[in-house]
Amino acid sequence: MVETSDIRVVRCGGSKVNLTPPIISSDSRFVLCTSGDLVKVYSTRTEEWLHSLQGHTNQVTGITLNPANHLQVYSCSVDGTVKLWDFIDGILIKVHSGLCVSACPECFQLVSVHLPKSAEQEVEAKEMSAVSSHISKNPSCTAFGRGGEYIAFARHLQLNVYFFRKQKTYSFSLKATDKKGAKNAFTCIACHPTDDCIATGHEDGKIRLWRNFIHKKEYTYSTQHWHHNAVNTLCFTPEGTHLLSGGIESVLVQWQYGAGNRKEFLPRLGGSILHISASSDGQLFCTSHSDNKITVIESSFKVCGVIQGLVKDAVLTDLMIDPRSKALVLNGKPGHLQFYSLLRDKHLYNLDIVQQEYIYEAGLDQFEVVKAAFDIKGSWLATVEERGKKSSDLEFFLKLWAFDERTQSFVLNTTITAAHTDRIISMCFSSSEETTMLVTAAEDSQFKAWCQGADADTQQDQNFWSCDFVGSYHKLNPTNCSFSADSSLLAVSFQEVITIWSPDTWEMLTTLCQPPGVIRDLCFGRLSCSKYLLGTTTKNLLCCWNLLTCELEWSTSVDVSKLQPDPFSENVAAFSYQSKHTDLFVFKPSEPRPLFTNKNVCSEKVHRAVFVPREEPLNSCDESTQWLNRSQLYFLTQNMDLLTFSTATEEDRMLSSSKQLVIDDSVAVTPFYLLLGKHRQQQQKLNTQSHPHNMALPLLLRVPGGGLLHTPAHVLPAASVLCSMFVNSFLISNTGVQQDPLRYFVHIWLT
Amino acid sequence: MGEFKVHRVRFFDYMPSGIRALAFNQDTERMAVARMDGSVEVFHCSDRFFQEKIIPGREQCGIEGLSWVGERLFSAGLNGGITEYDLTNQKVKYTIDAYGGPIWTITGNQQGTHLAVGCEDGTVKLFEVNEDQIQFERNLDRQKSRIISLSWHPSGSKIAAGMMDMIQVFNVETGHSIHRMLADRGAGTSRSKECVVWSVVYLSDGTIITGDSVGMVKLWDDQTGTLIKSHNVTKCDVLALSVSQNEDSLVAGTSEGIVVQFQFVSMVLEKDDKEWVRTRTFRNHTHDIRAVAEITTAVVSGGMDAQLVVRPLLDKIEVRSAASALRKIHFPHRRLVSCARKSGLMLFQYPGHLELWRLGESEGKGTPGSSLFVKRNPEKLLQLKVKGEDHIRCSAVSPCGGWIVYSTASTLRLYRLHCDNNNISITKISKLPKVLSSANQLCFSSDSSHLFSASAQSSVHIASLSQSGCKFVGTLKPKSGSHQAIHLLAASEDGKWLASANSDHEVHIYNLQTQKAHCTVPVYSSAVTAMGIHPATNCLFMMHADQQMFEYSIEQKQYTDWSRTVQRKGLHRFWVERDTPCLNVMFNPQNPSHVILHDMYMLCIIDQSLPLPDDKTQFYNQLTLKSLTEEQRKSQSHAFKVCKTFKDILCVELMPDQSLVVVERPLEDIATQLPAPIKQKKFAT
């Protein structure tokens, strides 16, 4: 039992990129978005992930460009800090800490914080004043007005406008409903950049434009209605000529400001629109969607880029690895399977399984992919799609997809409409290289084997899949099925009984039983342990049978929620859930002693896990990390966090030194700044300090002569300033020795 | 509350006429409404929009425009004439022809000196308003197409005219056109259609606002003659525009039935650069809005669906009250039905004819709420078409059912009705006294022996009726007071008293035996909407437009104690907040303490013997009372018993056999008879 600290659980696969509005840099080259603890920087042109700003220790909740310097970005996080970054180089510039997190998680306050100007990197922000002690927890319900003179925030049915200069709040209330059934609760707010006009979105899809809101009675608003459901987000373009809105319809609507009904639409963007932001020149818009996607849209309403994160909203399939691309495969956008490269943390493509238009509306029963399986070579993919989960009229299709070498994608080969009379419970491909066979087990107490064969009726060359064998056992409902590593044996569990079949002759060889408890998971051992069959039951038992003797080799009492064999080694990983946390055991079936144990991997149940082969194997000799040499274990918690284990050696390899630099936050780092800014600092210090020798001489000397010479003349300061500095830069520094400044001066000579 | 047999009458196919034009007089707070059938009505805006005056129309008299000049009201129509109304006597004063073909619009300047009319032949004609007449002054430069709309600049020096495809600005002094601004036609197929500038408004800062058939509200600058801004309001036509008195708000009515408000607000707070911004949308109409008017505290709109909608602007109202609620006026505030109580006959007054019906008979008894077997169906006995072009102003059937009388603006006709079994015959009384040439209101005495006819100068003529004919008896004149037309008459059961109410809120009581004025009820600030004389006590019961009620003892010439108690304690909030006036006052001979009232939405019995409710008591307490025991009921019950079973009531009458006749005209039935509205795409249909 080894428990080492050099293996740790890390989040991976990209957290939600749609939590906060993305921002576009002022040169429209980068899109920044929050993603878990990180701020990610993407290129707008190539949609590539460039780098991320790493430093927060908890969820980042907001980002905004520094209004004083368009190359810097502020980020705030649940960890109570506001950080300032140079997002192009990924450098942390400043940390404002001390923003306390409210004790009550349900109560949200709006606080204005004065960020003190200071040269230090770590600054404690002390000056805080509460604007409102009770605001909506939805950040889209708060917006700054023209030039930051006021802030508008809404909560439920009340709109408040707080003027900073007057320190006065104006409130306007709406009725909850009216005779026509309008639902007037506020859902989002946007303020016009130049006019005093506040746009608010409402639950029933109305958009109101408020004006004259410094009057208690003579305030006025106009109403526009297009969305049929709540307006999720509103955004004015920087010039204020248009208003953009989005909701569950996944249609971006552009309203012409001041021209009533004139509007344009960009439909079919994918998931429902959560946020919209516009670049400062108004040329690009960004929408983030509920399917963890950011769409970059040109102002001419043309989609020019899609940044797709891992979709983890409703994962019904197992986690799978595409044997060809080594991509992680799971449910993607509705009706699709997504292929996601874990290595590059990038969405590869979506495979449309259902091939029907998905309607973005709540409460509709639509087809969903519920099962999927790859064969060992990755040339076949079997999927099951299903609808009518709640109602009795269950509809499902079994589809088989062949990999097309020419198009490098999966092509539909066979659709089986009534594969079983009831829901398919489990599905697996045979693992032999020669023949591929699919076995499906369903709730109609049958399992069926499907083979590829020439269709007798059509006599065509193309091979379709047809049923080869139907098996059942005492009218019991099967619960799982699994092939042995060489496909010579098929194990199908029927409730408490495991039956072992020979796929060649379809003869039942033996039955194994270890009551009580229904068999939940089933897997054969690999490589040297292939004579073992592992099974877990609902009654917290993990059993290991020896197939040569047909006897129980060992069993242990542990509540296993997921049993995952590593296809590249003998190892098997078992996730066990007890007393509100999940433990991981990695063991070989041949010996009941675990190779590796990790207590408290996470606090939720784990139902989905997968071993992903490594590109280049590690060669760790440590017993506890050896199991991670050839493959890596990923698992998905109930909160839809994709987690993995990483070893210390791995992290060392990946760790890049993070550059940090202290600079004045009001000035961009240019050669000009490095020259002149330091010079100014030096002068200030000369003026204020009694010891002129403490000046930042080393910094000054670091100014390269080359930088000076290559900088265009019109951006350089006067030659009189430069001359002495230039000369100084050639001097050999002799810090440490206190020298008379006058004496120092005399030593200068020109070549 | 007692048990009544109720005749629910729904065969009165009354159709209100669509509203064509509105004109608001700021000084007198009167709203003039012109309808499609040529009738003109005057509403008192600060007196709960009571319909004070009705001037019936004529056949073939389409009014297109209305305009106040001071306190004088002018209209013009497609028959090419300009009409001035005599508002005191509620009739047309004179009509003069403008000689320019059909007139599309009429508007007076703010100074009250001139009227401008826009004619089909392309001329804008100026008329000088004299003391007693108007006088043609001159034409402005003649244009090629018809003048659809006109608006004076507040200074009176310029006129903007909306035409086909363009807007012209005229200098009034020279009569020449200053600017000619072209209105765009619609895109696509409608490009071939002319753009009609339906409405134009000239603001004092020189902005001209137009509404046109393309659906645009456009703002023009009269200095340069250029378009400043255009708002696309609708896909159909913008038919009407109206600007508020201080020019900070504009309303536009469209043919989709929506009213759009624009406000002149500063784009940056506390700065002066203001812009016209589209703000609110009011959807109260189903059909085309032909006229809108923004008054001080509300937007008034009317159109093809014949209802006058008063939508309050909450930002302009100091105290929210019943007077400032949304108001929809469907029916006239006059009675169109008269009832021969003793013989069960009903007389329905349509604009151009009268219908006489006999009520059906039922048999058997039933539990409350159940319907009885109808033994004999109601029967239309008579349809009487009006001679001439004038519409009926008032009509009456005598209580015995033997006489019918009606009056138009020019004639009064009296008929003798013979009704034996199923043979109906009618004879016109040919020789009428000369004074009975026209009447503002008609009334029979309760024994049907006399006819009272209200005529000019607030006087009432009495004529005695007999088999031989009609004989003039005398004239009742008020001792003093105004000469406004009488709109209500009430005769007492014993034939001794007659009460008359005129539109100056005066109520005069006459002694019929001496034919002298008996007394005058103290003048109350609100108009009398209904009144009746109690058969037993001879007290005059009056209902006012502000829902106050008074009981005046004729014999003692003072308010009764009950009336004083009502005034002292005040009426219940719910009673005062009702938005339609009471139209009839009846008394139950079986129960002298009961007074029966009705308005458009409810029927109410006031039991004068019970305590009055105060604001804390439950007003609509019928259901609660039912669940209580006898003793609790006594302590809980109050004077007002309201019945809301009937809807859209035109008239309620109590028959001598303790049955009620309720004449209903369901609004849904009216809606089905209206022309089809513009087809609109509705979401999710």
Spell B289-313 as b/e; 16+ CB within 10 A means b: bbbbbbbebbbbbbbbbbbbbbbbb
In terms of Cα–Cα distance, which of B598, B394, B391 is closest to B485?
B394
B278 neighbourhood in chain A, CB within 8 Å: 222, 258, 260
Sheet holding A186-191, edge to edge: A186-191, A198-202, A206-211, A220-225
Asked if A195 and B267 come within 8 Å (Cβ–Cβ), the reply is yes
Phi, psi of A686 (to 5 degrees): -60, -40
In B, which residues are within 8 Å of A259 by CB distance?
231-232
Using DSSP's 3-state secondary structure scheme, residue B669 falls into helix
Nearest C-alpha in B relative to A262: B232
Give the helix/strand (H/E) hosting A159.
strand A158-163
Task: Using CA coordinates, name the residue in chain A closest to B278.
Answer: A222
Partners of residue A195 in chain B, C-beta under 8 Å: 267-268
Nearest to B218 by CA among B283, B169, B166, B178: B166
Nearest CA to B536 out of B610, B587, B596, B607 is that of: B587
Pick the closest to residue A140 from A31, A21, A23 (CA basis). Answer: A21
CB contact under 8 A, A211 and B277: yes
**Cα A215–chain centre separation:** 44
- CB contacts, 8 Å: A223 with chain B: 280-281
d(CA B1, CA B643): 10
Taking an 8 Å cut-off on Cβ atoms, the answer to whether B279 and A197 are in contact is no
- Give B32→chain A minimum CA distance, Å: 28
Contact A228 B265 (CB under 8 A): no
* Residue B279 CB contacts under 8 Å (≥ 6 apart), including other chains: A211, A220, A221, A222, B261, B262, B263, B265
Instruction: Please answer yes or no on whether A195 and B278 come within 8 Å at the CB atom.
Output: no
Residue A260 touches partner B, C-beta closer than 8 Å: yes
List CB contacts of B601: < 8 A, sequence separation 6 or more.
B578, B580, B644, B647, B648, B649
Q: Which residues of B touch A197 (CB under 8 A)?
A: 267
- Closest partner residue to B278 among A215, A218, A260, by Cβ? A260
Distances from the Cα of A459 to the Cα of A365, A449, A453, A465, B101, angstroms: 38, 22, 10, 13, 88
The answer to whether the Cβ–Cβ distance between B232 and A223 falls below 8 Å is no
Among partner residues A218, A228, A261, which is closest to B232 by beta-carbon distance?
A261
Give the ranges where A385-455 is alpha helix by DSSP (H).
none
User: Which residue in chain A has the smallest CA separation from B260?
Assistant: A222
Which residues, other chains included, contact A610 with Cβ-Cβ below 8 Å and sequence gap of 6+? Answer: A318, A319, A320, A321, A328, A564, A633, A634, A635
Q: How far is CA A722 from CA A702, A703, A715, A729, in A?
A: 14, 11, 12, 10
Using CB atoms, pick whichever of B233, B278, B315 lies closest to residue A218.
B315
Residue pair A496/A516 in contact (Cβ under 8 Å)? The answer is yes
Contact in structure between B357 and B349 (CB atoms under 8 Å): no
Residue A222 contacts B where some CB pair is shorter than 8 Å: yes
Concatenated DSSP letters of A239-274: TSSEEEEEETT--EEEEETTSTT-EEEE---SSPEE
A736: alpha, beta or left, given left = phi > 0 and alpha = psi -120 to 50? left
Q: Which residue of A has its CA nearest to B313?
A: A218
Q: In the beta sheet, which residues pair with residue A259?
A: none
Residue B509 near residue B521 (C-beta atoms within 8 A): yes
**Contact state of B279 with A211 under an 8 Å Cβ cutoff:** yes
Torsion angle, alpha carbons of A68, A72, A77, A80, to 10: -60
| Nearest Cβ partner for A223 among B263, B277, B281 | B281
Is B280 close to A222, i.e. CB distance below 8 A?
yes
Residues of B with CB under 8 A from a CB of A: 231-233, 263, 265-270, 275, 277-281, 314-315, 683-684
Q: How far is B267 from chain A (nearest CA, A)?
A: 5
Count of Cβ atoms closer than 10 Å to residue A103 Cβ: 6
What order of strands is seen across the sheet that includes strand B298-303? B289-294, B298-303, B308-312, B327-329
Residue pairs between chains A and B whose CB atoms are closer than 8 Å = 53
A149, A220, A223, best to mutate vs chain B, most B CBs in 10 Å: A220
| Integer Cα distance of A33 and A51 in angstroms | 11
DSSP B500-548: EEETTS-EEEEETTTTEEEEEEPPPSS-EEEEEE-TTT-EEEEEETTS-
Q: How far is B312 from chain A (nearest CA, A)?
A: 13
CB B269 to CB A222 under 8 A?
A: no
How far apart, in whole angstroms, are the C-alpha atoms of residue B472 and residue B476?
A: 12
The number of angstroms, rounded, from the C-alpha of A127 to the middle of its chain's C-alpha atoms is 34
What radius of gyration, in Å, describes the C-alpha atoms of chain A? 32
Are the beta carbons of B277 and A222 separated by less than 8 Å?
A: yes
> Chain A: residue nearest B683 by CA?
A228
Using a CB–CB cutoff of 8 Å, tell me whether A212 touches chain B. Answer: yes
Provide the 8-state DSSP code for A452: E
Contact B280 A228 (CB under 8 A): no
CB A28 within 8 A of CB A279: yes
The residue of B269, B274, B319, B685 whose CB has the most chain A CBs within 10 angstroms, and thus the best one to mutate to test that interface, is B269
3-class DSSP state of A741? helix
Report the phi/psi class of residue A76: left, alpha or beta, with left for phi > 0 and alpha for psi in -120 to 50.
Answer: beta
Helix, strand, or coil here: A133?
A: coil
Alpha-carbon torsion A538, A540, A542, A543, what sign? negative
For the beta carbon of residue A113, count every other beta carbon within 10 angstroms.
15
Distance from CA of B375 to the nearest CA of A (A): 43
How far from B545 is each of B302, B580, B584, CA to CA, in Å? 21, 8, 12
- pLDDT averaged per 10 residues, chain B (length 685): 82 92 93 94 91 90 90 93 92 92 93 93 94 92 92 94 93 93 83 91 94 93 92 90 92 93 87 87 92 92 93 80 81 92 91 91 79 86 90 93 91 88 85 87 92 90 89 88 88 92 91 91 93 92 93 93 92 88 91 91 90 82 76 82 89 89 91 87 74
Contact B359, B335 (CB under 8 A): no
CA distance B180 to B161: 10
Q: Do A212 and B269 count as a contact with CB atoms less than 8 A apart?
A: yes
| Rounded CA separation A497/A512 (Å) | 6
When CB atoms are compared, the residue of B269, B278, B281 closest to A196 is: B269
Show the low-confidence residues of chain A (pLDDT under 50). 1-4, 656-667, 686-707, 736-751
- Bridge partners, residue B154, by sequence: none
Long-range contacts of B135-139 (CB under 8 A, 24+ apart): B136/B98, B138/B175, B139/B175
A111: exposed, middle or buried (Cβ count in 10 Å: 0-12, 13-18, 19+): middle
Cβ–Cβ contact A166 with B under 8 A: no
Cα distance between residue A247 and residue A273, in whole Å: 5
- Chain A residues with CB-CB distance to B233 below 8 A: 260
Please report where in the chains the tokens 């005495």 appear, as a residue. B445
Contact present, A30 and A305 (Cβ < 8 Å) = no
Name the closest residue on chain B to residue A219, using Cα atoms. Answer: B315
Cα-Cα-Cα-Cα dihedral sign, residues A692, A694, A699, A702: positive
Distance, CA of A546 to CA of A564 (rounded, Å): 18
Tens digits of per-residue pLDDT, A571-606? Answer: 888 888 887 888 888 888 888 788 888 888 888 888
| From B231, B279, B280, residue closest to A259, measured CB to CB | B231
Q: Look at B232 and A260 and tell me if their CB atoms are within 8 Å.
A: yes
Task: Supply A262's token pair.
Answer: 């004139």
CB atoms within 10 A of CB B273: 7
Which pLDDT value is given to residue A459?
A: 56
Q: How are strands ordered across the β-sheet holding B216-221?
A: B197-202, B207-212, B216-221, B226-232
Structure tokens at A116: 């003190």
What is the rounded distance in angstroms from the CA atom of residue A520 to the CA atom of residue A561?
A: 9
Cα angle, residue B414 at apex, residues B411 and B418 outer, rounded to 5°: 155
- Compute the distance between CA of residue B363 and CA of residue B4 in angstroms, rounded to an integer: 14
Backbone angles phi, psi at B268, to 5 degrees: -110, 125
Question: How close, in Å, is residue A654 to chain B by CA atoms?
Answer: 53
Cβ within 8 Å, pair B315-A228 = no
Q: Tokens at residue A741, please? A: 């400044």
